[in-house]
Amino acid sequence: MSMIFEKQPRESAKAFAAFSLYLSQGAERSTREVGKQLGKSEGLIERWAAKFDWRSRVAAHAAHLAIVEREAIEAAARGKAAEWASREQKLRETEWAMHEAAIAAAKKGLAAYMEREKVYANLADIARMLEIASKLGRLATGLGTDGDGRNGDDLPTMRVEVTVALEKIYGEPIPGEIVDVEAVPILPEKTP
């Protein structure tokens, strides 16, 4: 099915060429200019314009272009939305992996602390690691970091109070065990 602004069944090639030129002139289009450029009389161009309803065809062409432009914008928006959804999923998977690693490190530190082996972390460090692991796990699963709700960033943040609980059980840390982890620079691991 042809569009109204395409060549019409009874329209000659010359008449359609005149319309195409008229259409391409933009907002300043005129039948006089079309006749001048094609070397045709303005009267002939006026008859073609009336017979083949150039005004309606120009309006239909403009409406068609608006639809095409809107569809292109919508397609681009859908593409961007899919791209961001993919990024969000990758981020969630990364956060989950970090959550798992943080839980494992906290368990190892707690086990070492409980056995009083050579300890590189104190109860506060372990508590902080568990707090970070909890936040990473909640973020990775789509939960907010504030409680039970999903993405509840508008509620007050709940803090994991593991340090207080551990100190109640085991007492205060021995002086010298406490290390301010924020003041100590992170050094790269030594490879054997």
Per-residue H/E/C for the chain = CCCCCCCCCCCCHHHHHHHHHHHHCHHHCCHHHHHHHHCCCHHHHHHHHHHCCHHHHHHHHHHHHHHHHHHHHHHHHHHHHHHHHHHHHHHHHHHHHHHHHHHHHHHHHHHHHHHCCCCCCCHHHHHHHHHHHHHHHHHHCCECCCCCCECCCCCCCCCCCHHHHHHHHHCCCCCCCCCCCCCCCCCCCCCC
pLDDT digits (tens, 9 = 90+) for 26-58: 888 999 999 999 999 999 999 999 999 999 999
pLDDT tens digit string along 88-133?
A: 888 888 888 888 888 888 778 777 767 775 656 677 877 787 788 7
- pTM equals 0.47
Task: Give residue 15's pLDDT band: very low, low, confident or very high (50, 70, 90).
Answer: very high
Domain parsing of the chain, residue ranges: 13-73, 84-170
